[in-house]
């Protein structure tokens, strides 16, 4: 192998809990990545439901969380084996694995964030160093600990004109990239989390493919306005982050009940509510860009929501900006977050601060992650 490059694996199982995205990438001395192999590994339904359940307090949750972390890590190890097989490399060729884990609680205001992971077990199963626990150093420095990817976005997607990189996972987050200015980034609100929840509840499908079900309904401007203005988080300024701690089934059901009580004559079909939830994602992103990055010229979109054509069309209409997949900038949409964690592992090894005060509001820039040696 070329001694001027180093090779890392990045793993990501996001808020949507659909599965594990993995990449194996080589990095130049300056951190420029080149993807060698990628994989996707669906999570077993039993593990998926347990991870979702652990977002809320429940019986024996400490033991359940530890077991779920171990179970998830065995699938991380399987993803690594697939990547090695695809690339023709072996464990000795890999500098480290960047593994984020599964976020189940995130409350930086109270000084904590929790990702289920077993990095020591992953190092044992793969024989490769593991870098994990990326959020807590920034939280300790007074930051939000999220989003983690803006420094990576700035390294890979910088441009000569101002632009937005929009990740549509369970939550939506934007990176604001402007030439000559520090990178900024923050969560804008729910992306797929409420859409998936409502879709599974009413259709039995875990997600709304291409937004087809939402497209069959009609969004309610009144309900959209209520959802936006009944939640103070939307109006709070960055730095800010969020997750299932806030945007969950309870949040949605309480607001639908309150709106229906105030509008007893109004009736919306489930597909109309799905259309309104899609509009909520699009409008909350558009509002954030208008307030914080009004001079942006385009939006690079990535994450699972980038495949929802109804959503990307709604985003283009709400923002008035071209919405193009990150494929156009050299990284396929489904690889971006996993590649970001490979890059974060590279950044750790190179003592490169990825925790940025301009993103998280921390007191100082920090190197993110902890090393678990194989």
pLDDT digit string, tens, across residues 267-311: 899 999 999 999 999 999 999 999 999 999 999 999 999 999 999
**C-alpha–C-alpha distance, residues 332 and 348, integer Å:** 24
Domain annotation covers residue 12: yes
Q: How many domains does the chain have?
A: 2
163 and 305 together in one domain: yes
What is the arithmetic mean of pLDDT over 251-280? 95
Domain annotation covers residue 62: yes
190 and 228 together in one domain: yes
Distances (CA, A) of 104 to 53, 65, 169, 237, 244: 9, 9, 15, 24, 8
Confidence (pLDDT) at 164: 98
196 and 128 together in one domain: no
Domain annotation covers residue 1: no
CATH label of the domain that carries residue 272: 3.30.420.40
93 and 155 together in one domain: no
307 and 342 together in one domain: no
136 and 156 together in one domain: no
Backbone φ and ψ of 103, nearest 5°:
-70, 125
170 and 107 together in one domain: no
125 and 141 together in one domain: yes
267 and 295 together in one domain: yes
12 and 154 together in one domain: no
| Domain hosting residue 116, numbered range | 6-145+334-372
Please count the CA atoms within 13 angstroms of the CA of 229 that sit on its side-chain side. 7
pTM for the full predicted model? 0.94
Confidence (pLDDT) at 14: 77
Region of 255 (left: φ > 0; alpha: ψ -120 to 50; beta: rest) is alpha
Confidence (pLDDT) at 136: 97
Domain annotation covers residue 328: no
285 and 221 together in one domain: yes
């Amino acid at each position: 192998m070329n001694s001027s490059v180093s090779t890392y694996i990045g793993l990501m199982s996001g808020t949507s809990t659909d599965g594990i995205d993995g990449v194996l990438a080589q990095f130049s001395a300056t951190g420029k990545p080149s993807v060698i192999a990628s994989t996707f590994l669906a999570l077993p339904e039993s593990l998926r439901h347990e991870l979702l359940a652990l977002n809320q307090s429940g019986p024996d949750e400490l033991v359940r969380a530890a077991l779920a972390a171990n179970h998830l890590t065995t699938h991380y190890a399987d993803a690594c084996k697939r990547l090695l097989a695809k690339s023709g490399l072996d464990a000795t060729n890999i500098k480290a694995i960047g593994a984020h884990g599964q976020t189940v609680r995130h409350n930086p205001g109270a000084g904590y964030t929790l990702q289920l992971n077993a990095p020591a077990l992953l190092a044992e199963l793969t024989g490769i160093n593991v870098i994990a626990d990326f959020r807590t150093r920034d939280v300790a420095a007074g930051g939000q600990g999220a989003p983690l990817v803006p420094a990576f976005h700035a390294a890979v997607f910088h441009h000569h004109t101002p632009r937005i990189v929009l990740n549509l996972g369970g939550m939506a987050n934007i990176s604001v990239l402007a030439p000559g200015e520090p990178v900024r980034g923050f969560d804008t609100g729910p992306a797929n989390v409420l859409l998936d929840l409502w879709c599974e509840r009413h259709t039995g499908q875990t997600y709304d493919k291409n937004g087809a079900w939402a497209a069959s309904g009609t969004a309610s401007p009144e309900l959209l306005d209520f959802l936006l203005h009944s939640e103070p988080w939307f109006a709070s300024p960055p730095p800010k982050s969020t997750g299932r701690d806030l945007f969950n089934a309870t949040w949605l059901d309480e607001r639908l009940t309150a709106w229906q009580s105030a509008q007893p004559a109004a009736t919306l079909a489930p597909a109309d509510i799905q259309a309104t939830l899609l509009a909520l994602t699009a409008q909350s992103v558009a509002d954030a860009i208008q307030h914080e990055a009004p001079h942006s010229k385009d939006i690079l979109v990535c994450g699972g929501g980038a495949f929802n054509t109804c959503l990307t069309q709604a985003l283009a209409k709400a923002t008035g900006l071209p919405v193009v997949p990150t494929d156009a900038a050299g990284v396929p949409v489904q690889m971006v977050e996993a590649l970001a964690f490979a890059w974060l592992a590279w950044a750790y090894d190179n003592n490169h601060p990825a925790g940025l005060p301009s993103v998280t509001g921390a007191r100082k820039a920090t190197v993110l992650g902890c090393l678990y040696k194989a």
